[in-house]
Amino acid sequence: MREKVIVITGGSGGIGATLAVLAASRGARLILAARREKELREVAARCGPGALAVPADVTRREDVERVLAAALARFGRVDIWVNNAGRGITKLVSELTDEDLDDMIRVNVKSALYGMQAVLPHFIGRGQGHIVNVSSMLARVPYAVQRSAYSAAKHALCALTANLRMELAERYPHIHVTSVHPGVVATDFGLNALHGGTDSHAIPGAQTAEQVAEVIAGVIERPRADVYTRPDGQRMVCDYFAAEDMGEAERRPPFVHRLPSK
């Protein structure tokens, strides 16, 4: 990771901030993007004098393009682009509004699409690069029905990620495209969810942001297509999709069907 130029969206807190500090400690050059300017600059300061903070709303295509331009102006290249920005929701499918679904798609899918499309010509021109999209276990399995539209958005992100990977595979084998699937992480994700929600720090078994950042750092150092941050994550997904009757599988642990907790 030393001397690699890494863009991280959602870099003002949680997984993004933790990954930034870890990557900086391993010699990476950082460009951090997020809407919260004060917090973003504080994280950049923790990463050392070379880190660049670019206040931006990554749900706006022009802001994402500005992040890329700033990275190229500072470092001359980008090696890894991490689409980490995202937000949850606490709302059952039966209760969703148009605005709820639009918000989840805008924050969790379009922001990543803008990042992929912005950096891809640069990667193609160099013949190499790595896009890392931070998805979720909820993109694979319906563990928490109150995260309905978030789960749907992350499903969509996984589909875009896989299709881009296949699009590039033959002509550009040195451009890697990765999905990373965390489970529950002890960050402010739950508190920041649309319509509020349970504090993720209080959920038993939640991973630390440091544990998740280590997994992402590992996939940056050794690119793979699809990665789970919990050791048992991939097995859980395989068991669910291999079930003869998914409905029966959903009636057994670890699936959760509680009503939203405010």
Q: Dump pLDDT digits (tens) for 5-31.
A: 999 999 999 999 999 999 999 999 999
pLDDT of 160 reads: 98
* pLDDT tens sequence across 212-242: 999 999 999 999 999 999 989 999 999 999 9
| 32 contacts 54 by C-beta, under 8 angstroms | yes
Beta strand segments in 63-107, E = 80-83
Segment 242-247 shows an average pLDDT of 94
> Which residues, 6+ apart, have CB-to-CB distance to 187 below 8 Å?
13, 14, 15, 200, 201, 209
Percent of the chain with pLDDT over 70: 97
Tell me which of 3.30.1490.20, 2.30.40.10, 3.40.920.10, 3.40.50.720 is the CATH number of domain 5-249: 3.40.50.720
* pLDDT tens sequence across 126-184: 999 999 999 999 999 998 999 999 999 999 999 999 999 999 999 999 999 999 999 99
Give the pLDDT band (50/70/90) at residue 202.
confident
As a whole number, the mean pLDDT across the chain is 95
Query: Which of 150, 172, 228, 240 is labelled catalytic?
Result: 150
Give the pLDDT band (50/70/90) at residue 254.
confident
Closest CA to 223 of 86, 79, 126: 79
Q: Assess whether 172 carries a catalytic annotation.
A: no
Give the pLDDT band (50/70/90) at residue 197.
confident
pLDDT of 256 reads: 62
> Please, which residues bridge with residue 6 across strands?
30, 80
Does 196 have pLDDT greater than 70?
yes
Radius of gyration of the chain (CA): 18
- Residue whose structure tokens are 């901030």: 17
pTM for this prediction: 0.95
Give the pLDDT band (50/70/90) at residue 257.
low
- Where along the chain do its domains lie? 5-249
pLDDT of 259 reads: 45
